[in-house]
C-alpha cells in the first residue's frame, strides 16, 4: 500500500511505503508470517530480541527490541501502518500486550492482526488463555481495526515429543478423546499474512473479525498414535491422560509456573477438547485456496528425516 504525502518545501509528491511490523518474528509462527509477507511483496519489519538468530529474506528490515522495552518498541513502530501482535507465554504476557497496544495507538497504528488462541473464552482457568482473552477485549474496547486469529493446538508442538515417539514407541501428549483440531504453524503464518495484507490494503475501515484457525481433522490421543504407527511402520501407543505426570515431565525443561499452565491446558483438552465451529475449516480452505496441512502430512515429513 502506498500513500502520497506532500513535502514541506516541495510541490513534488513524496512516495512513502507503508510497513507491517511483526513481533515475535524469530518464533515458529512469527518466522512463517515474515516469510509469507515477504513472498507477497510486503514491506516487512521484524522485531526480534536477538538479531543474530534472525534468518529472513534480505528485503526484511530487522529491529532489535522486546515488548517490555518501551524505547525500542516506540522506535520499531515508527512509520508502521499495520501490526502483527504475537507475544510468548510469559508471566507478564498481558502487560506486554497492553504496552504494545498503547504504544501502537500513540504511533497512529490502528490496523492489527492479533494471535490469540481458540476457546480463550472457554478455558478461563488456564493463565495464558485468560490473558489472551483479556487482550482480545482490550483490542475491541480500544477501537482497533483488528483481526483476532484463534489457533488450535499447533501440530508443530509435537516436535518436542518426537524423540519419545521414536525411541520409546509412545505418543506422550495427554490430549484425551474429545478431539483436537490441530493446525500446522505454516498454515497459521500464511493465513496471518493474508489478513495483514487485506487490512493493510483496505481503503476503508474494516470491522473487527475473529477467525478460528484449525486443521482438517479432529484428533484424539489414540488417533495420533495410529498416525505415527503408519508413518513409522511400527506400533506406537498412546501414553494416556496423566496430566500430573505431564506437568512433572515439563518441569525438567521449563519453569514450574509454565509447566502447571500447560497441565491446566491439557486438563481442558480432556474435558472440552479443542474443536472447530461449523464452517471454520471450509472458510480457511477458501482463504488459502488449498487444503489445510494435516497431522498425517506432518508425521510423514518427520518420518522421512529419520
* CA nearest to 238, candidates 252, 228, 230: 228
Domain 2-152+183-214+276-292: which CATH number of 2.70.70.10, 3.10.450.50, 3.40.50.720, 3.40.640.10? 3.40.50.720
The predicted-structure confidence for 232-271, as pLDDT tens digits, reads as follows 999 999 999 999 999 999 999 999 999 999 999 999 999 9
Q: What is the 3-state secondary structure (H, E, C) of 45-102?
A: EEEECCHHHCCCCCCCEEEECCCCCHHHHHHHHCCEEEEEECCCCCCCHHHHHHHHHH
The predicted-structure confidence for 202-216, as pLDDT tens digits, reads as follows 999 999 999 999 999
Question: Could you give the CA distance from residue 47 to residue 106 in angstroms, rounded to a whole number?
Answer: 18
Which grid coordinates are listed for 154? 499447533
pLDDT at 108 over 90: yes
Question: Could you give the CA distance from residue 52 to residue 112 in angstroms, rounded to a whole number?
Answer: 27
pLDDT above 90 covers a percentage of the chain that reads: 93
Contacts of 136 (CB under 8 A, 6+ apart): 114, 116, 120, 148, 210
Instruction: List, as one string, the DSSP characters of the chain.
Output: -EEEEE-TT-SSEEEEE-EEEESSTTSHHHHHHHHHHHHTT--EEEEES-GGG----TTSEEEE--TT-HHHHHHHHTTEEEEEE---S-TTHHHHHHHHHHHHHHTT--EEEEE--TTTTT-TTSHHHHHHHHHHHHHHHTT-EEEEEEE--BGGGGGGGHHHHHHHSEE-----SS-B--B-HHHHHHHHHHHHHHHHH-SSPPPPEEEEE--S--B-HHHHHHHHHHHHTS--EE----HHHHHHHHTTTS-HHHHHHHHHHHHHHHHH-B-PPTTHHHHHHHHHTSPPP-HHHHHHHHHHT-
Report the range of poorest mean pLDDT among 13-22, 23-32, 73-82, 183-192. 13-22
Which grid coordinates are listed for 260? 502447571
pLDDT at 196 over 90: yes
Q: Confidence band (pLDDT; 50, 70, 90) for 18?
A: confident
Cα–Cα–Cα angle for 47, 52, 56, rounded to 5 degrees: 60
The predicted-structure confidence for 91-100, as pLDDT tens digits, reads as follows 999 999 999 9
Contacts of 132 (CB under 8 A, 6+ apart): 93, 116, 117, 120
The predicted-structure confidence for 58-73, as pLDDT tens digits, reads as follows 999 999 999 999 999 9
Averaged pLDDT of the chain: 93
- Give the phi and the psi of residue 261 in degrees, each rounded to 5: -55, -45
* CA nearest to 76, candidates 51, 52, 39, 41: 51
Which pLDDT belongs to residue 95? 97
Q: Are 45 and 19 in contact (CB under 8 A)?
A: yes
Mean pLDDT, residues 117-139 taken together: 97
Q: Cell 509456573 belongs to which residue? A: 257
Report the range of poorest mean pLDDT among 54-58, 190-194, 292-296, 299-303. 54-58
Report the range of poorest mean pLDDT among 4-8, 55-59, 97-101, 119-123. 4-8
Amino acid at each position: 500500500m502506498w500513500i502520497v504525502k506532500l513535502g514541506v518545501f516541495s510541490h513534488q509528491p513524496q512516495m512513502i511505503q507503508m510497513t507491517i511490523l511483526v513481533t515475535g518474528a524469530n518464533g515458529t509462527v512469527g518466522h512463517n508470517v515474515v516469510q509469507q509477507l515477504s513472498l507477497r511483496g510486503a514491506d516487512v519489519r521484524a522485531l526480534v530480541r536477538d538479531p543474530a538468530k534472525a534468518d529472513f529474506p534480505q528485503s526484511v528490515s530487522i529491529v532489535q527490541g522486546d515488548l517490555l522495552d518501551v524505547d525500542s518498541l516506540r522506535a520499531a513502530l515508527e512509520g508502521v501502518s499495520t501490526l502483527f501482535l504475537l507475544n510468548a507465554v510469559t508471566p507478564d504476557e498481558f502487560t506486554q500486550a497492553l504496552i504494545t497496544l498503547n504504544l501502537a495507538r500513540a504511533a497512529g497504528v490502528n490496523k492489527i492482526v492479533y494471535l490469540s488462541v481458540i476457546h480463550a473464552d472457554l478455558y478461563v482457568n488456564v493463565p495464558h488463555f485468560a490473558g489472551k482473552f483479556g487482550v482480545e477485549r482490550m483490542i475491541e474496547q480500544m477501537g482497533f481495526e483488528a483481526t483476532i486469529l484463534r489457533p488450535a493446538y499447533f501440530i508443530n508442538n509435537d516436535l518436542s515429543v518426537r524423540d519419545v515417539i521414536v525411541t520409546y514407541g509412545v505418543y506422550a501428549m495427554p490430549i484425551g478423546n474429545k478431539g483436537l483440531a490441530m493446525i500446522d504453524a505454516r498454515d497459521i503464518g500464511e493465513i496471518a499474512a493474508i489478513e495483514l495484507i487485506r487490512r493493510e490494503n483496505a481503503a476503508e475501515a474494516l470491522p473487527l473479525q475473529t477467525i478460528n484457525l484449525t486443521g482438517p481433522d479432529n484428533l484424539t490421543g489414540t488417533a495420533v498414535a495410529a498416525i505415527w504407527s503408519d508413518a513409522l511402520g511400527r506400533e506406537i501407543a498412546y501414553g494416556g491422560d496423566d496430566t500430573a505426570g505431564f506437568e512433572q515431565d515439563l518441569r525438567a525443561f521449563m519453569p514450574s509456573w509454565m509447566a502447571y499452565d500447560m497441565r491446566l491446558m491439557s486438563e481442558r483438552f480432556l474435558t472440552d477438547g479443542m474443536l472447530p465451529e461449523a464452517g471454520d475449516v471450509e472458510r480457511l480452505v477458501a482463504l488459502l485456496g488449498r487444503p489445510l496441512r494435516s497431522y498425517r502430512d506432518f508425521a510423514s515429513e518427520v518420518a522421512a528425516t529419520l
